[in-house]
Chain A
Amino acid sequence: MAPETSFQIFVNVLLANNIVLAMFLGLCPFLGVSGKLETAVPMGVATTFVMAVASLCAYGLNWLLTLLGLEFLRLIAYIAVIASAVQLVEMFLKKHSPALFRALGIFLPLITTNCAVLGVALIQTLRDYSLLQSLAFAAGSGAGFTLALVLLAGLRERARLVEVPDIAQGSAVVLMLAGMLSLAFMGFAGIGG
Chain B
Amino acid sequence: MSADRPIGGVTDAWENFTEGLWRQNPVFVMMLGICPMLAVTVSAINALAMGVATLLVLVASCALVSALRRFVPREVRIATYIVIIATFVTAVDYAIQAISLRLYEALGAFIQLIVANCMILGRVEAHASKNPVIPSVINAAGMGFGFAIGLFALGSVREVLGAGELFGVSLFGPHFQPWVVMVLPPGGFFVLGGWLLLFALWERRRRNRAEAQLLLAAGRD
Provide the A159-191 mask, 1 if CB < 8 A to any CB of B, else 0: 000000001110111011011101100100000
B97 CB, min distance to chain A CBs, angstroms: 11
Cβ–Cβ < 8 Å partners of B86 in chain A = 75-76, 79
Q: Given that A26-B35, A28-B35, A83-B82 are known contacts, is A172 also in contact with B188, CB under 8 Å in the complex?
A: no
* Chain B contact residue count (CB 8 A cutoff): 40
CB of A43 within 8 Å of the partner chain:
no
CB pair B204–A167 under 8 Å, yes or no, is: yes
A124 CB, min distance to chain B CBs, angstroms: 10
CB of A22 within 8 Å of the partner chain:
yes
Provide the B188-221 mask, 1 if CB < 8 A to any CB of A, else 0: 1110110011001100100000000000000000
Once the chains are docked, how many angstroms separate the CA of A171 from the CA of B195? 11
CB pair A76–B90 under 8 Å, yes or no, is: yes
Indicate the member of B39, B121, B185 with the most A CB atoms within 10 Å.
Answer: B185
A50-58, A100-108, A115-123, A135-143 - interface stretch: A115-123
Cβ–Cβ < 8 Å partners of B79 in chain A = 80, 83
Once the chains are docked, how many angstroms separate the CA of A169 from the CA of B199? 12
* Chain A contact residue count (CB 8 A cutoff): 37
Cβ–Cβ < 8 Å partners of A37 in chain B = none
Chain A binding surface SS class: helix
CB of A130 within 8 Å of the partner chain:
no
CB of A133 within 8 Å of the partner chain:
no
Cβ–Cβ < 8 Å partners of B89 in chain A = 75
Cβ–Cβ < 8 Å partners of B35 in chain A = 24-28, 115
Provide the B26-37 mask, 1 if CB < 8 A to any CB of A, else 0: 000001101110
Cβ–Cβ < 8 Å partners of B32 in chain A = 28
Closest partner residue, chain B, to A22 (CB atom): B185
Interface residues of B in 84-134 (CB under 8 A from A): 86-87, 89-90, 93-94, 108-109, 112-113, 115-118, 121
Once the chains are docked, how many angstroms separate the CA of A83 from the CA of B80? 12
CB of B38 within 8 Å of the partner chain:
yes
A172 CB, min distance to chain B CBs, angstroms: 4
Interface residues of B (CB under 8 A from A): 31-32, 34-36, 38-39, 79, 82-83, 86-87, 89-90, 93-94, 108-109, 112-113, 115-118, 121, 181, 184-190, 192-193, 196-197, 200-201, 204
**Known pairs A72-B94, A113-B121, A119-B113 / 18 extra A-B pairs, C-beta < 8 Å:** A26-B35, A27-B38, A28-B118, A31-B34, A75-B89, A76-B83, A76-B90, A79-B116, A113-B116, A115-B113, A126-B108, A167-B197, A167-B200, A171-B193, A171-B196, A172-B197, A175-B189, A175-B196
